[in-house]
Structure 1
Amino acid sequence: MFKDIVTDVFFDLDHTLWDFEKNSALTFERILQANRVGVDLNDFLRVYIPLNLEFWKLYRDGKIIKEDLRYQRLKQTFDSLGFTISDETIHVLSEQYIEHLSSFTHLFPNTVDILDYLKPKYKLHIITNGFQEIQEKKLKNSNIHGYFDQIIDSEMAGVKKPDPIIYQLALQKANVAPEKSIMIGDSLEADIMGARAMGLHALHFNVHNDKKHDYCDMINDLNEIKSYL
C-alpha cells in the first residue's frame, strides 16, 4: 500500500518493538527480591500496570514531572495493595527499576525479522517518549540499535508525542517530508493521532486490543507490515 510512497519508517520503541511489559515484570521480580519486599509479584503487577499507563498519560500531557511519575506509580501501587513500605524503600526501588530495566532484552515476536526486511529498502528511525538515559541502552542491549538512522526522544525534543514539535524534529533530522513517512506504534493518541495530524502515514500495532478507528489500518503482528511496505 505504501511501497511506492514511503522512504522513511518511524517506529515507537516501548510496546512496539521492545516488549515493555515482559521486561518490566522481570525487572520487578529482580528488585523486589533483592530488597526483600514480600509482596506477591502477580498482585503487584495487576495493580501496577494500569496505574503506570495512567501516570504515563499524565506525564505525556505535561501534568506531572518525571520524578513524580517514577515515585507515585510505585507509591500508589503499594497503597492500593495495603502493603506497608517506607518512602526510602520506594525511592530505592524507583532508582533500581531504571537501573535494571534496560538489562532485559525481550522483543516482540518478529521484531528482528521485520527490521531485516525493511532495512535494505527504507531508512528506519525511532520516536519515543521514553527517558533518554535508558532508551539508548534498551536499543543497544537488544542488539537493534544499528538498524536506526535517527533516534528522537521526548527529552531531546522538549515535548512528548503527540505534540507536533517532536514529529517536526524527527522529520527534520531524517530530512524527509511527512507524506513520504510512516509511523508505526501502539498508542492511538501518541503515535497514530500525533503522526496523522502532521501528515505522516501510520500503522497501529494493536497490542492493547483497542477498538477499530478511521485513522489508519491496525496490525496484530509485526510481520503484517510486509503487506504495506
Structure 2
Amino acid sequence: MHLRTQAVVLDLDGTLLDHEGAARAALAAWLPGLGVEVTAGLVDAWFAAEEEHFSAWRAGEIDFAEQRRRRLRDVLPLAGLEGGSDDGLDQVFAGYVAHYEASWTAFPDVEPMLAALRARNVPLAVLTNGTEDQQHAKLRAVGLDGRVGSVFTAEGLGVAKPARASYVQVCAALGVVPEEALHVGDRYDLDVVAARAAGLQAVHLDRDGRGPFDEPERIVSLAELPGYLGW
C-alpha cells in the first residue's frame, strides 16, 4: 500500500531498541546476585508488574521512582524476599538498572531502515513513553543519538501515548498535519490504534508475530518499511 507520508514517527522500545531482550538479560544477571533462581514464572511476573505500574506512571498516577518500587513490591515476595523501605527498594532497583543499561542493543533492522529513509530525505522523529534522561541515554548507547530526528518523551511532552495530544504535538513540531504522518511501533494499542485515533497513519511492527493478524498495515521487520511505503 502506498501511503501519502511526509514524516515518519518511530516508537523506541520494542521498535528501535530491544527492551524486552535487555530486560531478560538484566534479570538473568541480577536475580542470582540476590540469591534468587531465575524462573519463567518470575520473569513473567516481572513483565506483568512492569506493564501495570508503568501504565500508572504513564497516566500520571504515580511518579517514576514509585512505579519501580511497586514492581519490586510485587515481584520480590514471589522470590521469598521482603520489600523494605523506599530507599532500600531504590537501591535494589539500581542493581537491575545497571544490568539493563549494559544490555541495551538496537535491533539489526534499524540501520538498513534508517539508510533507506535518509536516502529519500524522509523527516523522522521518535515518540516514546519514557523519561528524558533514560530514553536519550538509550539512543546514545546504541549509536542512534542525533540520527533519528527529534526525540519526544512522555516526560518532556507532559503527556504520554495513548493521549491524542502526544501524537499531535509531535506532528506540529515536524510541521505536518497528522494525516500525513506515519506512526510505526510494536504496541498495537499505543502505536496503531491510538495513533490512528489522533489522525495519523500507522503501521504495526509485529516482530514477535503476536497479531492482530487481520491488521492490513502490519510488518514483521523495519526492513519492510521502505518497500511498504513504495519509496
Residue in structure 1 matched with residue 171 of structure 2 by the alignment:
171
Deviates more, 1:100-109 or 1:48-57: 100-109
Question: Kindly tell me: are residues 56 and 212 of structure 1, through their superposed partners in 2, closer, same or farther at Cα, counting changes over 3 Å?
Answer: farther
What residue is the counterpart of 1:42 in the other structure?
39
1:186 aligns with 2:183: no
Structure 2 gaps of 5+ residues are none
Q: Partner residue of 2:108?
A: 109
The aligned residue for residue 211 of structure 1 is: 212
Q: Which amino acid aligns with 1:61?
A: A
How do 1:148-167 residues align onto structure 2 when only pairs under 5 Å count? Answer: 148-167=148-167
Distance 1:195 1:130 in 2: 17
| d(CA) in 1 for partners of 2:188, 2:128 | 14
1:23-42 equivalent positions in 2, closer than 5 A = 23-32=22-31, 36-42=33-39
Q: CA deviation at 1:115?
A: 1.4
Report whether the alignment pairs 1:95 with 2:58.
no
Which segments of 5 or more consecutive residues in structure 1 lack a partner in the other structure? none
Q: CA deviation at 1:48?
A: 0.5
Asked if the contact 1:127/1:153 (under 8 Å) is kept, the reply is yes
TM-score (norm 2): 0.87
Q: Contact between 2:31 and 2:37, CA under 8 Å: does it hold in 1? A: no
TM-score by length of 1: 0.87
What residue number does 1:200 align with?
200
Identify the residue that residue 20 of structure 1 maps to in structure 2: 19
Distance 1:203 1:154 in 2: 21
* Equivalent position of 1:68 in the other structure: 66
**How much is the aligned-residue C-alpha RMSD, in angstroms?**
2.2
- Alignment partners' CA distance in 1, 2:2 and 2:93: 42
Distance 1:42 1:116, change over 3 A: farther
CA shift at 1:139, angstroms? 0.4
Deviation at 1:189, TM superposition (A): 1.9
% same residue: 26
Distance 1:103 1:77 in 2: 22
SS at match of 1:138: helix
Query: Taking structure 1 as reference, are residues 32 and 82 closer, same or farther at Cα in structure 2, changes over 3 Å only?
Result: closer
Q: Which residue number corresponds to residue 136 of structure 1? A: 136
Aligned residues: 225
SS at match of 1:203: strand
The Cα offsets for residues 69-104 of structure 1, whole Å up to 9 and x where unpaired, read as 111112201123333454454321223444553333
Shift of 1:7: 2.0
Given that residues 98 and 134 in structure 1 are in contact (C-alpha distance below 8 angstroms), is that contact kept between their aligned partners in structure 2? no
Shift of 1:46: 2.8
Letter in structure 1 aligned against 2:69:
Y
